[in-house]
Amino acid sequence: MKISSEIASLATHAVSGYSLEQRFYCDDAVFAADMEHVIGRKWIVAGHVDRVRKKGDYFLFKVGQESIIIVRSDESTISAFYNVCRHRGSLVCTEPAGRVARFTCGYHAWTYALDGALLAARLMPADFSKKDSGLHRCHARVFYGFIFINLSDQEPADFDAAFADLAPYLDFHGFADAKIAYAQSYPTTANWKLIVENFVECYHCASAHPEFCSMHPPEALVAFGAGPSSGPTDAVEKYLPAVKAWEERAAALGRPIGTVDDGPESSHLRLLLQRTIRDGYETETPDGRPASSLMGKRRQFDQGRMYLSFSPFTQVVATNDFAVLFLFTPRGTMHTDVDLYWLVDGKATDVDVKRMIWGWDETTKQDKRITENNQAGILSTRYQPGRYSEQERRVVTFQQWYLAQFGCALT
């Protein structure tokens, strides 16, 4: 693999246990390398199938400089195409979402079928081939309701090898048949790595997230606030008996039990952690009372929650009655789209949206503020890498994984 010269040079100064050099967070050349070697090679969730339930339904997913059309081509197929007309490169779709019978470019009226084939192109030379001028296809895969795309020019990483073992958990939670109850965007003026680093540590939770902390045992936030290897080892050992006791109760109710804690050598740095929430709470709402009906295959509330990370770009937090899909999508060097989708059971009829979104809406607004402040401070001439706490161990793992995508390592 050809290593980006910018990354290789910067990596020589990266030290394990410290934040990265300034240029990792604000340099255009580094972001270009990120797009080529990391973002463009991973399976990233673009959305949920509930956005494209009927034939002709589409939405645009934007990552970096790319605009991708996600469309239901027929009753059983969801396709992804680059939003680039094969004539002279204009955007084919300009509306963010809709339903169409075909795609027509507004520039010269080239028209494409829902499967990307070119249907009409007026007054072209006799030797022009419509067959060879369809929309460029983007790799796409639907997995338990989540729509994944991959921008790789070549054959992408094997999807089943990366994610198949997560199937029992996704099936239990009913994600394939879930529906979107609410969605909100929180565009953030910060590099994507800062968004991820903030999400994979809970060192800041006590000082920045009162709503989130109110729904969880304090000892759980220290030990497992951002995953199975995010907290100090002594805190993990102290809280582990409580987790084991809850796992036994939850398993008896049919919940599949397991943990995923990928290391820096993995393809997508996945994570899966299940644990209890605050004592007496049934879900993550202001008072712990349900906001919707049980999701998926549950028979009753088990006072637990699941945190699943498909990759640094896609996170899912699921309680018993709703789940939140987090999309962290890099758009520019210091611009990241943060989009949240609240999912409920497909048969849910009475959803208290206000109470359901309360915790993560407030928490994400707070995260937007603190990561934007983090980015602004890093731009200072006085910024230098700072030492991590014992509650930020997962940040180090993320940095090791990130540099490994370039064949580099922390010293």
Instruction: Please give the Cα distance from 383 to 252 (Å, whole number).
Output: 51
Same domain, 183 and 324: yes
The answer to whether position 74 is within a domain reads yes
167-198 tens-digit pLDDT:
999 999 999 999 999 999 999 999 999 999 99
Domain that holds residue 192: 165-404
The pTM (predicted TM-score) of the whole model is: 0.96
Same domain, 119 and 173: no
CATH (domain of 79): 2.102.10.10
Same domain, 192 and 273: yes
Q: How far is CA 243 from CA 76, 169, 251, 321, 388, in A?
A: 40, 17, 12, 20, 26
Average confidence (pLDDT) over 153-174: 96
H or E element in which residue 315 lies: strand 314-318
Q: What is the chain's Cα-based Rg?
A: 22
Same domain, 95 and 57: yes
The answer to whether position 238 is within a domain reads yes
Reduce the DSSP state of residue 325 to 3 states and report it.
Answer: strand
Same domain, 134 and 174: no
- Total domains, the chain: 2
Give me the pLDDT at residue 3, please: 60
Average confidence (pLDDT) over 362-384: 98
Same domain, 171 and 270: yes
Instruction: Please give the Cα distance from 368 to 33 (Å, whole number).
Output: 24
Same domain, 231 and 351: yes
Same domain, 341 and 202: yes
Same domain, 143 and 218: no
CB 179 within 8 A of CB 47: no
31-73 tens-digit pLDDT:
999 999 999 999 999 999 999 999 999 999 999 999 999 999 9
Same domain, 206 and 65: no
Q: Is the pLDDT of residue 291 over 70?
A: yes
Same domain, 116 and 214: no
What's the length of the chain?
Answer: 411
CATH (domain of 198): 3.90.380.10
Task: Name the pLDDT band for 1 (thresholds 50, 70, 90).
Answer: very low
The residue with tokens 């699943």 is 308
325-349 tens-digit pLDDT:
999 999 999 999 999 999 999 999 9
Same domain, 131 and 254: no
